[in-house]
Structure 1
Amino acid sequence: MDFNAKIAFNNLKMEIANELGYNYNNITDKVESNAPQDTIMGHAKNILAGEQVGGQMSKKLVELGEKALLDKYNSQN
């Protein structure tokens, strides 16, 4: 992955994590819940946080792709 693309991807991840009330850890490149870390509950909530953030990222990237395709199509007509 291109370095600039990785930065943009991580920025999107951080933005969505913050919107959902989670933390994005730049050092570990992971989304973390606000539950106590290093506990079973903390690990479970981190998994849920990662799933939710990943799902929202996928949705956002699809929306951006659709918009780009529509813009390209509309500019040709």
Structure 2
Amino acid sequence: MDNQSKMNAKQALNNMKMEIAYELGYNYNHETNKIESNTPQGTLEGTARNVLGGEEVGGMTSKNLVEMGEQILMDQYDSKK
């Protein structure tokens, strides 16, 4: 995979994480590539909610990627029939 393809894949993955974060009510910080809650940052509660947000977004991202992979495999299987 060439560097441009890697950059495009990374950007697509970041876009997916951003969309999921917004759907779950979190913010996606483009500068740090991190999930942030809407609670005050720099507080214990803010940090805890950031961790929870990262876990939720990571889980949903993984789920979506698996579903996409399954669909690709099913499409390939169906096209060989």
Does residue 76 (structure 1) correspond to residue 80 (structure 2)? The answer is yes
Q: What is the alpha-carbon root mean square deviation over aligned residues?
A: 0.9
Superposition map of 1:17-28 within 5 A = 17-28=21-32
- Quote the Cα distance in structure 1 between the aligned partners of 2:37 and 2:76: 39
Residue identity opposite 2:61 in structure 1: M
Instruction: Report how many aligned residue pairs link the two structures.
Output: 77
| CA displacement at 1:44 relative to structure 2 | 0.3
**TM-score, length of structure 1 as denominator length:** 0.98
**TM-score, length of structure 2 as denominator length:** 0.93
Q: Which runs of 5+ in 2 are unaligned?
A: none
- Quote the Cα distance in structure 2 between the aligned partners of 1:42 and 1:68: 38
- Quote the Cα distance in structure 2 between the aligned partners of 1:16 and 1:34: 15
Displacement over 2 Å in runs of 4+: none
User: Residue 55 of structure 2 corresponds to which residue in structure 1?
Assistant: 51
**SS at 1:35's partner residue?**
coil
Cα deviations across residues 7-57 of structure 1 (Å, max 9, x unaligned)? 000000000000001000000100000010000110000000000000000
Residue identity opposite 1:24 in structure 2: Y
User: Residue 36 of structure 2 corresponds to which residue in structure 1?
Assistant: 32
